[in-house]
Amino acid sequence: MSRDVKLSRIQAVLAEVDYPTTRETAASAFDDVTLLLADGETNLGSVVRDVQTDEFESVDDLEAEVYGTLPRNAVGEPYQSEGDG
């Protein structure tokens, strides 16, 4: 069953795996997640596979890598709020 998750709600999804974890373990866990971006959507498992780090000690580590991998316009226009944070 696939799930749709807003980018602003990603931390709860990333917390579903046990840490520390590897890139491949996390990517496999999120293959069913469609990440809803300001400018479209993408598969979260694919995004995790594209990050540069091989292991993550915490949710925050993985979240930072995901945000660093996404294009700037994925989060919306600079200085604009999504509204529901």
Q: What is the DSSP letter of 7?
A: G
Whole-angstrom distance, CA of residue 52 vs CA of residue 62? 11
pLDDT digits (tens, 9 = 90+) for 20-37: 999 999 999 999 999 999
pLDDT digits (tens, 9 = 90+) for 45-78: 999 999 999 999 999 999 999 999 988 766 655 5
Mean pLDDT, residues 1-13 taken together: 92
* Cβ contact 33:41 at 8 Å: no
Please give the model's pTM, rounded to 2 decimal places.
0.83
* Cβ contact 63:13 at 8 Å: no
Q: What is the pLDDT of residue 79?
A: 46
**Percentage of the chain with pLDDT > 70?**
84
- Domains of the chain by residue range: 3-74
